[in-house]
Structure 1
Amino acid sequence: MSDNSKTVLLVDDDAGLRDILQATLEMEDYTVIAAQDGEEAKQKFDENAGSIMVVISDIRMPKADGIAVLEHVKNKDNFTPVILMTGIAEIIQTKKAVDLGCDDFIAKPFKPSELLAALDIVLNPANKGAGEDDEMGRDPEFCKVWLEDFVTGSSLQTDLYVRLSPKKYLKVARTGTTLDRPRVEAYKQRGLNYLYIPKEDFAKYVGLNLKVTTAIAKAGGGISKAQKMQLLKHSTEVILEQTNVNGVSQELAEVAHTLVGSTLSMMTEDDDLYSLLDMLNTHSDALYAHSIAVSVYSALIAQKMAWTSLPTKSKLVMAGLFHDIGKKEIPRQLLEKNRVSLTEDEIKTLETHVVRGKNILLQMPKMPSDVVLAVSQHHEYCNGQGYPARLTVHKIHPLAKVLSLANIFSNLVVKGPQHKAPMEPKEAIQEILDYQLEEVDRHALAGLMKAFGVEIPKEFEKYGQGKLGLTGT
């Protein structure tokens, strides 16, 4: 950059950082007017009216903060771009800044190249989104994730963002860094319980290699963005309408719904996975509603069992979504019959849906093996009386144990061919205790009972903290 007419008002109360930033900008031929607080910044902006091309300001400062500077600048000259530098304590103010018309944000700590990229964007709007170092995620295709899922002590495998507005996301944590407990508590104290991950990164984090599609349908009959968004909208409606969470805390219900919604959103980016979802959606309304419900209840159970691995929980949700995919090959009229009225041959045909589903998923190389295994075992029971393999309890995959219980529970509480008048959740749990206790895993059942506020019988209280043998969940 060689245009000396580019004058920057730089505002920060940290003299050391301010000097470094000033030197960086001057090396790029910017003229810098420096201010040490918000009041001085407002005064210098007025004194240099018309010559300041852009304002770069910290948010947290004495006398007057960055929000006050932003408001002053926009009231005086709405066309002067303002970039705010934010730390973890200023996320709520950052949201307010969006409403006031802030042009861009850069999260501390940042590299000089990131500041220069942000400057280039606000001064040259045609370049917006072109730089790799741009801190703002302008693609609205993000997945919402629960903040607590990332407090593991391990290095992050993805960048994390805060959502400022429908199309603005601010990067607050980078790949390779850690999200420690004090930082999480600082977010939560400011009302932030969720962060965001780009869909493609979410898929990689979970262990999928998606073939991300463009907004335009591919030649030869590709799936359009509009079709995918329609399915997502329908899915969201089903989640909210078909899953009975009476008795579950609002926070827990939101965590489960968010996990299912983000996993669904991620999968619609891939044509193959989308096609599987769409098969469920179009084959039978009841089948689709049941599949969504099983995903939500699986997420609830995992959450109350203290599973903390997002990849594990997302795979469980995927298994819930696809556990009955084999039923797409079963005649619809057979699916809609009550089980007590089925003939022996019809029962055998219906039970083939497990193997059919496994074979369908095996045709997809990207499908995680844990998901395939859980789907293939979701009708195996802990007493060894399930199907198709009559596995004993120690041979059933941990995900399948949760999935099996969620499936049984969903059949009782969601309206469908087997239950025209569904039960209330606590009534359904009592039904399982009375008639199916030997079939289900008691660790998982304890998690379900805790989710719905049901007292755990003393004879298996020890299962309340169980993790089904999963390491690192």
Structure 2
Amino acid sequence: MINCCEGTLALKILLADPNETWLEKASKVLKEQFYEVVAVSSGKDAQLALYNDKFFAVVLNFDLQNHSGLQVLKFIQRNHPNQRVLVILESQSILDEERVTEDQLKKFATVEILIKPFEVEYIKEVLEGHQSLGDFMKNIQRREGQSEEVEVDNSDEEFTKVRIDDFYSAKAVLFDVYIKLKSSKYIKILHSGDTFSKERIDKYRNEKNVEHLYFHNSDRRKFIQYHNQLASKLIDNKKVPTDLKVKMVRNVADKYIQEAYTQGMKPQVVEQGKEVCENIYNLVEQEKDLYKTLKSYQEFDPTAFTHSFLVTLFSTAIIKQFEWQSKTTIQATALACLFHDIGKMKLPKELMEKRPLEMDDDEYALYMTHPQIGVEIIEENRMINNSVKQIILQHHEYYDGTGFPYKKKGSKILTLANIVCLANDFVHIMIDGELDPPGALKKILLDQDQVTKYNSMIIENFIKVFVDPAKIVKETSLPSNSKVVSKKAS
């Protein structure tokens, strides 16, 4: 194997902190991750560094001396308004005593506030969270050829798995790739920076019947960014089959939802979610034969992540049938769908593994709180608008008033929330019963008690999702008094 490294343009970081010991430790950690680091201990030196050089990010302690952190922030605002800044506070008391407020810091283009104490390694995680795919590619230590395979012992909880057929890579591998031998024992088959080897992957697929590849959870963001960009290119390519485009978007959405559930609603996580929603919108908007793929969809993966993606896909497809639909509406609903069950994170694990019909009264009462908990989780996130929050809150409210948590009825329920409600129920029926989409739809339509849970126009437009758009007359293919929908729901 050839292991000579190519030259790389490392991302440059300015560290400004009055604590020399902390500076030395933080510099060492970041340099080990191939960042170029400029470390200073005064505000004056920080301003001088900013005057003389450009930085990917500035990590700035608010309590700098010889030009305070606030003075440096004002300097950055005047001279480098687009500079990415992470502000470190020595303690929560700085905010509590209103020496500075979060709103004031945000005005200075602060993208993240870090409050001590925290492990120095956390800075690496935060910086990675703000890197684009181009930044990742720029900062990687490239090698020609492939490194030797290495056996490692790591906890299973440290890894994310992906189906081997769903894994794609740039020419230079963005992160370490593993196969699993047994519990907590893995082989690293590709190293970060290696030239990608399809042959090595194929060897394990074809000769060893390996079905999944693995990578560290800390690399999940890189996986999402690369595959999201790849999905975007595939969607724009008219020659790529629709089912492959859906598969790619599902793949990246699954991993994104997993990231959101485990990392929380950090600004960079929400921003990445909007990129996923952009791809979902473009898929629904551009694919004229999407109805064929949705009609024949039969991948019965019961995981919460795939469930959320399918709810997103079918909800956005329903909205597309309404004359009032818009890109903003579809993308906001898609974001709500990705997060609609995030409140379940706070429920006991054993409850997560049960379906409502398997729960006793106390368990079901607790289960019914997950929409409210979901809104509480995202309540303070300014990047998520109120429409998204209301959809999450109401995604189990039924048109006939039998839903939860507030038993809202009729027009008191957001139409978008009722759309998500139908898509959510539909996906459960489809996966639980291992039915194809037309079979699941038929089961809903034949159950009048089920039909009354949704606005009749939503039912009618859901039926259109599986019909060739060219065959649908502009007015509607189903009148409001259609026999397939209950008059109670109109």
If you compute each CA radius of gyration, which structure gives the higher value, 1 or 2?
1
TM-score normalized by the length of structure 2: 0.40
